[in-house]
Structure 1
Amino acid sequence: MTPTYDWARQFGKAYVGALNTGPEAFAALFAPGADVQVGDREGPPELVREATPPGRSAFRRARIEEPWVVLTVRVIDRAAEQVDDRPHRLRFDDAGRITALRA
């Protein structure tokens, strides 16, 4: 699939919604055997939820950087009164499921 900007923006909202909902909803966005890397760690989609805390994450923006869709996820730390914008780079299969993620 070749994502458009509008599709990427809508997917970004669904992505963060699933991230904040729970592990099953988030894992459902991924194709079986998806290549997930967060920092220098590789593993299951749950790694993303460990690094991007559910309930403190918000969708900021989307852009296309072929072959990646780059979603900016804002992590909010209310106690420290800070925000941190983190890029999540994604690739997709023909069904629109995530096949690779770099965060």
Structure 2
Amino acid sequence: MPDERRSEEPGEPALPEVPELPEAPELRPRLPPQPGAEPPNSEDLRRAGLAYTIPVALIAPVVVLTLVGWWLDGQFQMSPLFTLGGALLGFASGLINMIRIANRLNR
């Protein structure tokens, strides 16, 4: 296999060797702590997590039980009876779940 750096035509100079690049150093920057910024404690994070579950706890049962009621209406050929019942039951259970989570949040 011919060397690719050599010229094919006579009289042309050979190309110089290509130097190898050195390995880049591994950088690990360390930032100084910011004054006045305290890391969040685990209690604050727990409370924030509970606060984010409140909307889901209210909406999810309404959606799920309404869809179950809609499916039951289709199965038993009853127009809005099971759909409305599922929506009301979902709202009641969602409200109860939301109150339970809010009570845990206030402890």
TM-score by length of structure 1 reads: 0.26
Greater strand content: 1
| TM-score w.r.t. length of structure 2 | 0.25
Q: Which has the larger radius of gyration?
A: 2
Where relative contact order (Cα < 8 A, 6+ residues apart) is larger, the structure is 1
